[in-house]
Structure 1
């Protein structure tokens, strides 16, 4: 299955606790907790471009599977890392955060971020 498409956040678990742990200010957490972000993924072979729009904030990362890339995190920090693919899962470690993005079926994208014992899970549905 191809990741290519546009996905809108449908539900999330653990947002507030996770964002506090990564150091996001309370006012940004409060503003962001009810916004339904949109993720747009372009997959071309092993090359990916991921754009996440949350309100007025747009975060875009481009990478090639298995090659080092400069990735911007949720907090705006840039990290050199390698994104790997295992079937329908994209896995990456950003400092202390492990991110797994899984295409569970043709229309459902699940992103699970783990930091120590904290888990932030986002479930998005394909809209285009």
Structure 2
């Protein structure tokens, strides 16, 4: 499937601004800002498994397109969200005022997380 693969963070823009807009403390922002991260995606039809590695921390989210699912954020908060596929290369997740878009472009995954006026952009390379 199109999304299946492992991706390593290459660059990100507006990380601090988004976390501040979400109300995170400066200590949390400093803790996660420079941390390396990878995400492994496994797509099986309409079911997905996302395994996030933030430093030594691992978070796994399992979900099915079109069904409300529980997601765990990188800070450990649990939230309910709905995931949809737009075309074959764009995954959109709507969660508590945030829109998360994961879009494949060649060997890159471009992830945007938008909260109102602030958008975090992350670019990861397939490894």
Deviation at 1:24, TM superposition (A): 2.4
What residue number does 2:102 align with? Answer: 101
Q: How far off its partner does 1:68 sit?
A: 1.5
TM-score using structure 1 length? 0.91
Q: Tell me by how many angstroms 1:102 deviates.
A: 0.4
Give the length in aligned residue pairs.
126
> Could you tell me how far 1:44 is from its partner in structure 2?
0.8
Moved runs in structure 1, 4+ residues, more than 3 A? none
Q: C-alpha root-mean-square deviation of aligned residues, in Å?
A: 1.3
TM-score normalized by structure 2? 0.92
Note the 1:106-117 alignment, pairs <5 A: 107-117=107-117
Which residue in 2 is equivalent to 1:20?
Answer: 20
5+ long unaligned stretches in structure 2: none
Which residue of 2 is the match for residue 5 of structure 1?
Answer: 5
Q: Mean Cα displacement is larger for which, 15-24 or 93-102?
A: 15-24
Which structure 1 residue ranges, 5 or more long, are not aligned? Answer: none
